[in-house]
Amino acid sequence: MSFLPKSPWLVHYDASSCNGCDIEVLACLTPVYDVERFGVLNIGNPKHADIFVVTGSVNEQNKAVIKNIYDQMAEPKVVVAIGACAASGGVFRECYNVSGGVDTVIPVDVYVPGCAARPEAIIDGVVLGLGVLEAKYGEKGKVAS
């Protein structure tokens, strides 16, 4: 068992989201759901983060930003797409400015459905992401014990 999934740090970015999923992500970090007691921090710096939490669909202006943040993160990294919009475009997939979900730009590891996704589902998704993170670390041939 490695130390990597013990205290994952998140970087959160709102692509064209309506904010519903974003305030639920923030609600996970505040009292009642409070994942900070497990060591999960919402850090603003992509170079310090393990998990990239994205909400919202992708439009023309967002593509460069999402790619930029993803490229700056260190391996191993996990991408969690939260909400129906991040998965496939949601209600807005037929809009002229929406090219689809986040997986049109970067590879996604975990999809959390919902509109807006509930905090319980988000925490579940992040925990699944931790398993993926550990698997990726193991693939590199290093398993810290």
Partner 1 sequence: MDPQVFFPAVKTEVVEIAQRNKALGYRFAQMHCVKTPSEMFIIYTFEKQDLSIEQYRIPAETDGAVPSVSGVFLAAVLYENEISELYGVEFTGMAIDFGGTLYETAKPRAFAEVAAPVKKTPVKQAAVAE
Partner 2 sequence: MGERTIIPFGPQHPVLPEPLHLDLILEDEKVVGAVPSIGFIHRGLEKLVEKRDFQEMAFVIERICGICSFIHGQGYVQTIEAVMGVEIPERAKYLRSFWGELSRVHSHLLWLGLMADAFGFESLFMHCWRVREKVLDIFEETTGGRVIFSVCKVGGLWKNVDDDTLRRIGGVLKDVEKDIRPLTDVFMRDYTVQKRCVGLGVLTKDEAFQLGAVGPMLRASGVAMDARKLGYAAYGDMEFEPVTENAGDCQARIAVRAREIYQSLDIIRQCIEKMPGGEVAVPVKGSPQGEYLSRLEQPRGEAVYYGKGNGTKYLDRFRVRTPTFANLIPLLHIIPGCDLADVPLLALTIDPCISCTER
Q: Choose the contact partner of 99 out of partner 2, partner 1, none; CB within 5 to 8 A by kind.
A: partner 1
Pick out residues in 60-99 that bind partner 1 (CB under 8 A).
60-61, 96-97, 99
Q: What single string gives the DSSP state of each residue in 17-53?
A: --SHHHHHHHHHHSTTT-GGGGT-EE-S-GGG-SEEE
**Identity of the residue, 2 or 45, whose beta carbon is nearer to partner 2 in the bound complex:** 45
Residues 85-124 vs partner 2: string with x where CB under 8 A?
Answer: -----xxx-xxxxx----------------xx-x------
Question: Of the candidates 42, 59, 72, 104, which one interacts with partner 1 according to CB under 8 A?
Answer: 59
Half-sphere exposure of 7 (CA within 13 A, CB side): 7
User: Which is nearest to 7 in space by CA: 32, 33, 43, 31?
Assistant: 43
Sign of CA dihedral 63, 64, 69, 70: positive
Of residues 42, 103, 121, 138, which one binds partner 2 by CB under 8 A? 42
Exactly one of 5, 10, 22, 122 binds partner 2 (CB under 8 A); that residue is 22
